[in-house]
Structure 1
Amino acid sequence: MKNSKAKAATGTVAESPLLASDATVAQALPLARFPIGKVDKVDVSLPEGYHEPSLKYVERDARHGSLETAMTYTTVPNPFNCANFSSEPVSECFFFPGSKEVLMNLPNYPQPLVRPKTTSFHMIDVPGKGKGLFSTRALKVGDLILTERPLLVCARGVVVLRPPNFSDAQYSQYSLDHLERVTEIAVSRMRPEAKAAFMALANCHMEDGSGPLFGVVRTNGLSLGGLRPGVRGEMGTYNATCKDISRLNHSCSPNTASRFDMASFSYSLYAVRDIADGEELTYQYTAVGVPAAERKKELAPYGFVCTCTACTDVATSDARRSNIAAFNANLIEARASDKFLGKFLVKCRAQLELVEQEGLESLRIYWVLLRALMDVYIWRGQAKDASAYAAKLDKILWDADLPQDYKQFIDPKSPAYEKHEMWRKVYRG
């Protein structure tokens, strides 16, 4: 899953009178962008004689699936499947048709939360940043910091037909008002302690027409996919607002990353490199492999200017990240063009060093490089060196896309080495 924070500018969907449960319909729908920053109030009184088309919203027993003709409010996981439901954290959800069925059809759903053995963080005030999370002990790469179910998972767009003669500004405000109303219903279903935690989260959308609840969602929502099969892009994802992960402050060199597990309907937050006792835990809100100017633009909706090292030493950092991006794009071609892989080995080591210097271990390129280096050493017949990189790959628990076949090479004496089709097939030059 893509687990960076959802872009705060995400809007609602201007749809046909049909509920966009069909993948073909949903993908053809335009997205109305919401404003950022202070905007003037506009009159959104409906034209005389205009009757607002009503979208059906239903609250469904957690044991039952969704209706094809209505959006669904529901509690996840199913309380009737939980032995200790009163103490089991739950998520209030506002779903399109079909999303409940994705969960209900999972084998052995729901799975219980797997919690860390010890508490690894606490929340304190951070000058200029509000509140943040800090480690309470030294953490190693791959350590599980926390697991949590979202407080709220809600659709990023709903059916909002444009009233006749509404300007773009009026339609944007009209849509925001609609989303505020549907979000209010979901929040009202929360347990008191969950609602209090939600209301305590930051809201950087106080002056752009967002309501107090949907503003919290825009500020803190993580992008959650996989619940609308066949629907891509904005309409294929939901906003997931969390109690703790949503408290993490941004860094362009984040030291944590999260992974969503559908079976337990929960996020797990991991250390992507060693973290010192007392160090702030950070997260990426936007793409961090792009130049600083692009990052600054993407972070503007959150109402702060990033002061991490990558944003203060821009020339050095941008040069490194540009180098990393270019190498990543040509990685396969580079591997094929180096006859004996000697040059490729040197290049991969250099790129890995750049990734670590820039603190980009959360990105895919990190494990791609580790995997490439493991492969090269297998081909050269150097099991001890290959196993060292396999062991590093085994710490990367935050990326669901990482192929798991490296595990057979963690032990340098594993028979898997000699069974590998490329074992000792490449000259060590």
Structure 2
Amino acid sequence: MPSKLKVVPNARLGAGCRLVGTRRNGHRSTSRRGATTLLVSDHESTMRRGFLNGKKESKDDGREVNDLSTTPAAASKTKSRPTGPDIAGNIYCTIPEDAAPGEQVTECYIDPTRRAALNKIPGFPQPMQPPGEVLFRLGESPGKGMGLFATRKIKQSELISDHRPLLLSPMSLRLPMHVQMAMVLGGRDVLSESIENLVQRMTPSNRARYMALANSHPEAGAELGIFQTNCEGTRALNEVGDVVIKKHGQCRFSTVCDVISRMNHSCSPNTSTYFIKQSFSWRVWATRDIEEGEELTSSYTIMLASASTRQRMLADYAFQCQCPACTDASASNARRAKIIEVDFNPELGLKWINDASLSDDWLVEKCHAQIALIEQEGLETSEEYWEVFVTLMRVYLCLGDIKTARKWAARAYECQWVHLHREAVDGQDVALVLDEASMEYERHIVWCSRVKEEQ
């Protein structure tokens, strides 16, 4: 009977779904960590990032983009384009299959059941929604190698990029035992072979972009080493129609996207990303106002962890973070600890609703204090930011103030990087409050619950 085999880089587990590696963007490790190993584990993880060197050129569809691809260091030989199912039960396919000239495509290694389920999404893949102009450029980042920089001022919640990844691959495989043993004994490496096949299936332009990405694991080979260095995990495909992976908190697929791979780390990042399965693309948003010339950053760690914990998580990348949250660690640690001290969940609201001794502004004051702390620490990317806006929306519903409730509902909705995956779980009422053509908000369970009855 097949057993579940995970093939991942030899590296330490990091934040959430990420498998912490030895390099991000311009941070190079001189160690030989990252050799491919076999792990049988329930943990799902991923590595990501890298950087590209190159020049600006025109995109296939005529729009100018910061295409940073260069001549690949190792040219790939032409191979056959297998379609499968292979020994792991997966197939190779291109999404979209009938791409228009110049349309972005992704080479995928995926189970056929999930691929069929994706096709049932109306209009799949739906059109991407990129901004009308390129909002970033590639440039030197002092002490970090290369990075992305804003070409104009970018407002909070503004969409920076919407790109399909170059490839998508599962993070674990179900392989017969004899195949696992052959891999352990130095035989056929199924993961390496699948990544090589994906790269060979790419268009020449996409292959050049992929091969120009950083490779912190040359001992793994060009294609697999680049994948290990730059892949980004997504949970978005854990549930597609009737196809469901029960462990929703874990990443099951990895992608490589040349835009996301170029961003350097910050413990107070100014961008956030989310994979949209309907369009099969990664969106990148500004999580706060970004000035022209400012570097676009993302976090490689658990943002609310202490500075020492974050530094340990970054150790495998062979650089020491020098952001303000790390250089003034004592003050930053205190603020981050305070942010997680109060859980802005519905239970906190119920406590306020049911305790007449608490003033009407008791919860409002807590919320504004939380917002101030989050913005001082530059943690607008966090889910806590969205949660406090939703809490304020419900506070003003309790007070019967729909105008102010809508103000905070709009702030929550603008945090698309969180709202897209929280809306269906605990944010359904945001849309209800924002609907100005409806009075359905008056049917909300907390509507006017703190309004004193007239004597």
Residue 180 of structure 1 corresponds to 192
Find 2:303's aligned residue among 273, 279, 288. 288
Q: How far does residue 139 in structure 1 lie from its aligned partner after superposition?
A: 1.1
State the alpha-carbon separation in 2 of the partners of residues 163 and 76 from structure 1: 29
Determine helix, strand or coil for the equivalent of 2:165: coil
Gaps of 5+ in 1: 16-28, 36-56
Q: How far does residue 342 in structure 1 lie from its aligned partner after superposition?
A: 3.3
Find 1:70's aligned residue among 78, 86, 89. 89
Residue 89 of structure 1 corresponds to 104
Conservation of the 8 A alpha-carbon contact between 2:235 and 2:250: no
Residue 218 of structure 1 corresponds to 228
Find 2:132's aligned residue among 95, 112, 117. 117
Residue 75 of structure 2 corresponds to none
Counterpart code for 1:221? C
**Is the counterpart of residue 396 in structure 1 residue 406 in structure 2?**
no
Residue 350 of structure 2 corresponds to 336
Distance 1:296 1:424, change over 3 A: same
Q: TM-score, normalised by structure 2?
A: 0.73
Find 2:283's aligned residue among 268, 272, 291. 268
State the alpha-carbon separation in 1 of the partners of residues 186 and 448 from structure 2: 66
Q: How far does residue 384 in structure 1 lie from its aligned partner after superposition?
A: 3.5
State the alpha-carbon separation in 2 of the partners of residues 227 and 390 from structure 1: 28
Conservation of the 8 A alpha-carbon contact between 1:355 and 1:361: yes
Q: How far does residue 174 in structure 1 lie from its aligned partner after superposition?
A: 4.6
Q: How far does residue 212 in structure 1 lie from its aligned partner after superposition?
A: 2.7
Query: Number of paired residues?
Result: 377
Determine helix, strand or coil for the equivalent of 1:268: strand
Alpha-carbon displacement from aligned partner over 1:234-263 (angstroms, at most 9, x marks no partner): 985111100111111111111111121112
Conservation of the 8 A alpha-carbon contact between 1:123 and 1:132: yes
Determine helix, strand or coil for the equivalent of 2:364: helix
Counterpart code for 1:130? G
Counterpart code for 2:130? R
Determine helix, strand or coil for the equivalent of 2:255: strand
Residue 65 of structure 2 corresponds to none
Q: How far does residue 33 in structure 1 lie from its aligned partner after superposition?
A: 10
State the alpha-carbon separation in 2 of the partners of residues 124 and 278 from structure 1: 10
State the alpha-carbon separation in 1 of the partners of residues 285 and 46 from structure 2: 32
Gaps of 5+ in 2: 1-14, 22-33, 48-79, 239-243
Residue 364 of structure 1 corresponds to 383
Identity rate, percent: 34
Indicate the RMSD between aligned Cα atoms, in angstroms: 3.5
Residue 422 of structure 1 corresponds to 446
Q: How far does residue 138 in structure 1 lie from its aligned partner after superposition?
A: 0.9
Q: TM-score, normalised by structure 1?
A: 0.77
Determine helix, strand or coil for the equivalent of 2:315: helix
Counterpart code for 1:311? C
Distance 1:234 1:214, change over 3 A: farther
Q: How far does residue 416 in structure 1 lie from its aligned partner after superposition?
A: 4.7
Q: How far does residue 13 in structure 1 lie from its aligned partner after superposition?
A: 5.4
Residue 243 of structure 1 corresponds to 258
Conservation of the 8 A alpha-carbon contact between 1:139 and 1:274: yes
Counterpart code for 1:267? W
Alpha-carbon displacement from aligned partner over 1:365-396 (angstroms, at most 9, x marks no partner): 11110010111122112333323212212312
**Is the counterpart of residue 381 in structure 1 residue 394 in structure 2?**
no
Find 2:208's aligned residue among 173, 187, 196. 196
Determine helix, strand or coil for the equivalent of 1:59: coil
Q: How far does residue 127 in structure 1 lie from its aligned partner after superposition?
A: 2.4
Q: How far does residue 283 in structure 1 lie from its aligned partner after superposition?
A: 1.1
Distance 1:165 1:89, change over 3 A: closer
Residue 142 of structure 2 corresponds to 127
Counterpart code for 1:187? V
Counterpart code for 2:339? I
